[in-house]
Structure 1
C-alpha cells in the first residue's frame, strides 16, 4: 500500500514560498548553458543511436505473414558417435553455439555419417543455422584454450572462417516457403586420424 505523507500548514508558509519563488526566478546562466550542452549532445548522438537500432536484424519485419517447415540435411560426420545438435537463430545474439539464445534447438542421432532435422512452423524471415557434432553428448560445443571449436560443426550457407567464430551475416538466409531443405556440411578443425570418415564435398 502506498503511504502518503502530508505536511501540516503553518502560518507564514505562503510568504516563504513567494520569497523563494522570486529568488529562484533569477536566471542562472551556468545552468542554462549546461542544459543547452546536454541537448546538443543528445541531438548529435541521435543518428548513431538510430543506426545502432536499425542494424539489429529483424527476422520477420520485411516478410509477409506465413509459416513453413525448415529441413536441415547435415552430412560429413566423421563418425556416428554422440548426437547432432541443430540451432536456429533469428539474430546474431548467441550465434553460433549459445543454444539458449536460439529460436529452437533440435537434437537427433547420426547414421552413416549424416542426419536429417526438421523445424516445423517456422515464421517466414531471415535465419542462420548451426549444427554441432556433439560427440561426447554434453550438449555444449567443446573449445580449446584459445576459444576455437574442437568438435565438428556446420553453418548455413557454408561460410569459410579460418579464424574465430562464423559471422551471422555470412550464415543468414531468407526463409519464405512451405518447406525448404537446407544442406549443411560438417567441418572439423582438427586433423582426421586414420580410419575417419571423410567429409563429402
Structure 2
C-alpha cells in the first residue's frame, strides 16, 4: 500500500510540474539587404496574434549567407504557436508601412501563410512546436 501511495504522489507531482520549454530554429530566406535586423515574434493564440507576442528573437541581417539567416528560438511553450518575421531594414524596431498600411519592409509568417487584404489569420500560421525542429519562412 505504501508503494502505491508513493507512486501516486510521484505521478501527481509529475502531472502538476510545469511544461518543459522547447528550443527550435527558424530559417528565414529572401533577404536582399544586409542592413538592420531580422526579427521574429512568437504568438501563442489567436487573441494575441500580431498584438502581443509571447517571445521572440532577432539577429543582425549582416549574418545572412546567400539571402538566408538562422534564428534560434528558446523557451517556447508546448503546443501551437504562430510566427511573424520581418526584416527591420532601417533598424527602428518596427515594421514600417506606407500610407495605405501595406508593409514597406520584407515580412513573412510561419507556414508561409498569406492573408487577403491584410495579414493571415492565426490558424493559417500556427504549427505544433517540436524540440530541435527547424521552421522555414520566406520573406515577401
* 1:102 matched to 2:49: no
Q: 1: distance between equivalents of 2:93 and 2:30? A: 19
Which structure is larger by alpha-carbon Rg, 1 or 2?
1
**CA RMSD across the alignment:** 1.8
Unaligned runs of 5+ in 2: 1-17
Pair 121,105 (structure 1): closer, same or farther in 2 beyond 3 Å: closer
* 1:85 matched to 2:39: yes
* 1:141 matched to 2:92: no
Number of corresponding residues: 120
Q: 2: distance between equivalents of 1:137 and 1:94? A: 24
The aligned counterpart of 2:138 is: 185
Q: Relative CO higher for 1 or 2, CA cutoff 8 Å, sep ≥ 6?
A: 2
The C-alpha deviation readout for 1:31-68, integer Å capped at 9, x for no partner, is xxxxxxxxxxxxxxxxxxxxxxxxxxxxxxxxx94332
Q: 2: distance between equivalents of 1:94 and 1:150? A: 23
Equivalent of 2:82, from 125, 128, 139?
128
Cα deviation, residue 94, structure 1? 4.6
TM-score (norm 1): 0.55
Unaligned runs of 5+ in 1: 1-63, 188-201
Higher-helix-fraction structure: 1
Equivalent of 1:73, from 12, 27, 31?
27
TM-score (norm 2): 0.77
Q: 2: distance between equivalents of 1:102 and 1:160? A: 19
